Structures are given as structure tokens and as C-alpha cells.
Structure 1
């Protein structure tokens, strides 16, 4: 169950970075809406990480959480913010995913 909390926390991390990017592009009161989403996603992400680390090893949980956030944020950047998707960027995204899967595989929980 704590792996589910950790994955959800990583997804909320993607949410808060996406809201931050959208707030940068927004104008007027819409900016505050995106910053509100940022704060809500940040709170949920941290709360889920805290819950997951109650039973999962801290180093593994943090690495997986940040990995999910990093991969997801890069993919959101490519898909929605028109960031480049060159060979090396995609290659290193896949190596990061392989590392996250490897950490899950060697974890005793």
C-alpha cells in the first residue's frame, strides 16, 4: 500500500511542477488559480511521501518519488510546454525510469 502512496505522491509532484509552469504563462487572476493548485499539489505530494516513508526505506522512497516527478515533469514539458525531445533527452529519461524500476526491484518492502 505504501508503494501506492509513493506513486501518488510522485504524480502530485508532477502536478505541482506543471502548475508552476502554467502560472508562469498565466496572467491576471488565473495566475493565482495555478499557484493555488501548486500549493495543493505540493501539500498532497509531501503528505503522501511522509506516509510512504513510514514503512519504506527513506533513500529508496525519496529516489523513486523524485524520479517519478522528474520523468513526469520532463514528459509534461515535452508534451505541453514545447520543450525539445532530442535523442539524448529521451535516452536519459529511459535510464532514469530503469533506475526507478531497479530500486523498486531490489527494495525489501
Structure 2
């Protein structure tokens, strides 16, 4: 259950990052509220996961999901560069995240 919570925490982190971009382009209360909900849920789920999963592993996986997910969503939704170097480094983040799961 802790790993499921941690994955959902990372997905909420990705949602929060999307809402930062939305708030940057569209300054309204709904964007701010969605941003707050996304990051709030992310922190709550991370805290729950850290009851079982060691802090270092949980934080690394959470940030890995958020960072790589944010980069991929930026490439897909906002036409950010899709060169091979960016894709390589996103793949490295994902590989390291999976590696931490395997050794924990």
C-alpha cells in the first residue's frame, strides 16, 4: 500500500507542476486551488508512504516521478524540445527510480 501511495504522490506532484504552468498562463482562482490540491495531496500521500518506506528512497522516487513526469508532459503538451539528450536523461531518472524500488 505504501508503494501505491508513493506512486500516486508522484502523479499528484506531476499534476501540481501542470497547474503551476496553468497558473502562469491563466491567473485565476481555479488554477490556484487545483495547484494547492495537487501539491497538498502529493505531500499527504508522500507522508503516508514514508511510514513504511525509508525517507531517502521515498523522496528519491517521489521526485523522480515528478521530475521525469513533468519533463515528459512538457514535451507532449507544451512542445518543449524532444531531443535525444533530454529523453536519455529522463530515461536515466526513471531507471534510477526503478532501481531504488528494486533494492528497497
**TM bucket normalised to smaller:** over 0.9
Structure 1 unpaired stretches of 5+: none
CA root-mean-square deviation: 0.8
Aligned residues, how many? 104
Give the Cα–Cα distance (whole angstroms) in 2 for the partners of residues 67 and 80 of structure 1.
Answer: 19
Unpaired segments of 5 or more residues in structure 2? none
Task: Give the C-alpha shift of residue 8 in structure 1.
Answer: 0.3
1:87 CA displacement: 0.8
- Which of these two proteins has the greater Rg computed from alpha carbons? 1
Partner of 1:5: 5
Q: Distance in 2 between matches of 1:105 and 1:76?
A: 25
Equivalent of 1:98, from 65, 88, 95?
95
* 2:32 counterpart residue number: 35
Equivalent of residue 64 in structure 1, options 61, 65, 81: 61
Please give the alpha-carbon distance, in whole angstroms, between the structure 2 residues aligned to 1:26 and 1:66: 26
Query: Corresponding residue for 1:48?
Result: 45
Aligned counterparts of 1:26 and 1:37: Cα–Cα separation in 2: 12
Q: Distance in 2 between matches of 1:20 and 1:33?
A: 12
How far apart are residue 35 of structure 1 and its match?
A: 1.1
What TM-score, normalized by structure 1, do the two folds share?
Answer: 0.93
